[in-house]
Amino acid sequence: MKKEKPKQQVQVKEKKTSIEERLKSIKDDVLSLKSKKTKAKDENKTEKPKKKKEIKTTEVAVVTETKIKKAKKSKNDLEKMYVIPLGGLEEVGKNCTIVQYKDEIIIIDAGAIFPDENLPGIDLVIPDYSFLENNKSKVKGLFVTHGHEDHIGGIPYLYEKIEKDTVIYAGKLTNALIKSKFENFGVKKNLPKMVEVGSRSKISVGKYFTVEFVKVTHSIADSYSLSIKTPAGHVFLTGDFKIDLTPVDNEKVDFVRLSELGEEGVDLMLSDSTNSEVEGFTPSERSVGDAFRQEFQKATGRIIVAVFASHVHRIQQIIDNAAYFGRKIAIDGRSLLKVFEIAPSVGRLNIPKNLLIPISNVEKYKDNEVVILCTGTQGEPLAALSRIAKNMHKHIMLREGDTVIISSTPIPGNEKAVSTNINNILRYDVDLVFKKLAGIHVSGHGSKEEQKLMLNLINPKNFMPVHGEYRMLKAHMKSAIETGVPKDKILITQNGDKVEVTKEYAKINGKVNSGEILVDGLGVGDIGSKVIKDRQQLSEDGIVIVAYSIDKQTGKILSGPEMSTKGFVYYKDSEDTMKEAQDLLLNKIRKEETYLGKDWQDLKGDVRDLLSRFFYEKLKRNPIIVPMLLEIES
């Protein structure tokens, strides 16, 4: 009997070219509308010259009568607001921007970034919140554009620095994910107030700020741009966006409101630069559902899909396809399990009854009746897919007939780990689907033409590319110039730059304390550059421990020096080298005869210097040298 297609599985099949044509059509309409309005304004100016002259004469008469000089405001008299990025510039992650007007501040996002190989042992990197800590009484609210880690991962740490009752404004799913962050942080009671917003929600905070949320599409539900107004001007921040004309949840970009805001006038626009080097348009997320349908159709055995836990739209399409083909879903990965707990509770995942099974029950079903949904798209060592690839998983072992789908592209810096996983998986007789060309992944960020379309809609006086590495910011600058933004109205900024915004100009005017804070376990900010350098040295060249004892009364060496190593050389294979190092130390000690009255720190320094030079000359290695001195009373 033919299976009926579930309602939520309705697929709108559109070729990439047709989507591009529709986007170009929208772009042309926007340009045409702006051209007509500009023309109309010019016609009005030429039609009524006499009236304008009369008004001017009247003004002069009034000025003469009252003896008041009417002068244009100088730059010093203009109202000023400040936009200050604390994170997200010259990097992809830890996004955080603050906007200040007089004695009031609002915060936009507070994200984190995962460390690269240059930060061994570090769990997380967050922005330096010291400026906000020093101005905590001025903070009037936290506004969150969407629920990805690089926008919410630092929130629990931020609330250690600002007032705990600072209100959070975000979409329903985003608030639920933030609440989960606090719970993982150990904060389950006295959470900050969280206000749910939707598209076109207007929030007034403090005496001066009005913030409006405007719907955009991204790779997670409840994604918004922000319009921020104060008496000094109007700032618009796109947030992460793409222009998806066929979104999975049917919640489309609010083109009308974006265009209206552009007509009102925007003094400074901040825009997502992630895909500024990618030509054309980003394909619709719905196209991934079609690609999954094809892979599910072909699969004869188990299907194992690795996906980002926060990619709710993609997870929904996997659920829909599993239900359509009569397969159960087993989930593995702590973050995925958390999303399957949160998203359905806020109406962002529709899961048919009895579709989910425990991972431990997979073997109770036929291979063609199961989908295993897991974490590990980036080759994380302890993630489910990595354990499966290394045949170390408690319940899943790869076998002939399996289809493994990696639905992502490697984040810069993770290429080697992803490649290792792929090589391990291919050692088994399985079908592996991972290339972008297979269509099982599309970006959640707009490409060049979408960025240009957003620029045309908003038509800002000044432009500031954000959310990207330096080369991405520069590429976005080039696109902005192509849309008509003057080069001298574009600001390429760094974290900490204080951007002064008025209704007449925007410029960098000063800098605030910014940087990064390293999180290691329960330690936040207590890991300095010296510790990181030591860890790097340990990982590269290991450690040599030198132990000896000294008579406290006479200062004579009683025993040692004895040497042991970890991660430096295999002692048995390097006995001659280590014996030579030991003899070198003994000769140094004999020359001194006694260390009575000497500073023990000086003695340790002598040992470090001597052995460091020796090992580098002998082996071209720089191990950490740790002298351990024991004082003994005779």
C-beta separation of 502 from 309 below 8 A? no
Catalytic, 445? Answer yes
Beta-bridge partner residues of 229: 210, 234
Please, which residues have CB within 8 angstroms of residue 50's CB and are 6 or more apart in sequence?
none
Q: Is 520 annotated as a binding residue?
A: yes
Spatial contact of 339 and 440, defined as CB atoms under 8 Å apart:
no
CB atoms under 10 Å from CB of 130, counted, come to 16
549 labelled binding-site residue: no
Q: In whole angstroms, how far apart are CA 351 and each of 341, 347, 363, 373, 459?
A: 11, 10, 22, 14, 42
Q: Can you list the alpha helix ranges (DSSP code H) found in 432-574?
A: 448-458, 470-482, 529-541
List the catalytic residue out of 222, 267, 272, 497: 272
Of 332, 445, 476, 541, catalytic = 445
In the numeric block, the tokens 């006295």 are attached to: 190
Q: Is 468 annotated as a binding residue?
A: no
Give me the count of residues in the chain. 634
611, two tokens: 């052995």
Give the closest residue to 242 by CA, choosing from 448, 97, 95: 448
Check whether 446 is labelled as a binding-site residue.
no
Where do the H-state alpha helices sit in 205-276?
A: 255-264
Q: Is 218 annotated as a binding residue?
A: yes
The identity of residue 590, as a single letter, is R
Query: What's the token pair of residue 116?
Result: 């690269």
Residue 313 annotated in ligand binding: no
The residue whose two tokens read 């942080």 is 185
Verify whether residue 234 is a known catalytic residue.
Answer: no
Residue 622 contacts residue 615 (beta carbons within 8 Å): yes
* φ, ψ of residue 28 in degrees (nearest 5): -65, -40
The reply to whether 395 sits in an annotated binding site is: no
**SS3 call for 157:** helix
In sequence order, which residues have a C-beta less than 8 Å from that of residue 440 and are 6 or more positions away?
Answer: 288, 291, 292, 295, 405, 406, 407, 433, 434
Distance CA 351, CA 33 (A): 43
The verdict on whether residue 506 carries a ligand-binding annotation is no
Degrees to nearest 5, angle at CA 26 with 23 and 32: 140
234 is in an annotated binding site: no
Catalytic residues: 272, 445
List, as residue ranges, the binding site for Ca(2+): 121, 123, 520
Binding positions for substrate are 309-311, 441-445
Binding site for Zn(2+): residue ranges? 146, 148, 150-151, 218, 240, 467
Q: Residue positions in the annotated binding site? A: 121, 123, 146, 148, 150-151, 218, 240, 309-311, 441-445, 467, 520
